[in-house]
Amino acid sequence: MRLEYFEMIDSVEEFDAERGYIRTIARVPMTSPVFEGHFPTHPILPGVMLLETMNHASGYLLLGLHKLKKLPLFTGVKKGKFRKWVTPGMVLEASAELLHDGSGFGVTKALIKQDGQRIADAEITLALVDFPTPGLEAEIRRRAEAAGLFATVIA
Q: Which position among 38, 42, 56, 66 bears the catalytic label?
A: 38
Burial class (CB in 10 A: 0-12, 13-18, 19+), 35: buried
Angle, CA 116 vertex, CA 115 and CA 122 arms, to 5°? 115
Catalytic-residue membership of 66: no
| CB-based contact 27:91 (threshold 8 Å) | yes
E strand map for 40-140: 71-82, 91-102, 105-114, 117-129
Rounded distance between C-alpha atoms, residue 145 and residue 44, angstroms: 29
Classify 61 as helix, strand or coil: helix
Stated as kind and residue range, the H or E segment containing 57 is helix 47-65
By residue count, the chain amounts to: 155
Contacts of 36 (CB under 8 A, 6+ apart): none
- Residues marked active site are found at 38
